Copies of this chain bind each other. A is one copy, B any other.
């Protein structure tokens, strides 16, 4: 990031083009950084923590990266693009109903969260959208993409309402916040490789979202005590 010329960085740049072991170890450092960002938050994570976890001296970290910020950017960059990619490919297929596209995106998104773990959860945790203060091109780009992604989602929900697949007696924004609240809140509890897969979680949430949890959501309403237990 810091462009100025320093010996430590000169070494790094020299490294950048070539070696294999180097790239591997660099990736390892990045992995550890992402893990700690997820566990403790960006600010609370000290470079010393990353170094300790990697079994290196703090100074050595700078052999692999220019700064803590750089590690963070590299963790988070691409996350948004992954989400947008997942969404746009469905968006293109106009043969599907909006509700089906929304469903697809919802599931794809959760799977993307899972695959990019823990990067996406770091992204969510650090509230990347409200970096309004920062004037950096980086921040601007994030905000722009987020807004555009958000509009896409809203579009699907509105579409599904117009097409009669979703109730329209609730404000669109609220529906979005309900659905993606469930989804995004996973960053507080979901861990890949545990009881459920990302897809299973997403499908379960989707079922709740569309059908609701009421036992008698279906026409049959009379015999509730006969319910399976």
Asked if residues A175 and B219 are in contact (CB atoms below 8 Å), the reply is no
Asked if residues B178 and A182 are in contact (CB atoms below 8 Å), the reply is yes
Instruction: Tell me which residues from 171 to 218 in chain A have a Cβ below 8 Å from any Cβ of chain B.
Output: 171, 174-175, 177-178, 180-186, 188-189, 195-196, 201, 204-205, 207-215, 217
Asked if residues B164 and A229 are in contact (CB atoms below 8 Å), the reply is yes
Asked if residues A214 and B174 are in contact (CB atoms below 8 Å), the reply is no
Question: Contacts A43-B41, A168-B229, A182-B178 known; A208 to B204 CB distance under 8 Å?
Answer: no
Asked if residues A228 and B168 are in contact (CB atoms below 8 Å), the reply is yes
Q: Is A44 part of the contact surface with B, judged by Cβ < 8 Å?
A: yes
Interface positions of A (Cβ within 8 A of B): 41, 43-44, 127, 161-162, 164-171, 174-175, 177-178, 180-186, 188-189, 195-196, 201, 204-205, 207-215, 217, 219, 221, 224-229
A-B contact pairs, 10 of them (CB 8 A): A127-B188, A161-B229, A167-B213, A170-B207, A174-B204, A177-B186, A182-B185, A209-B212, A212-B213, A212-B217
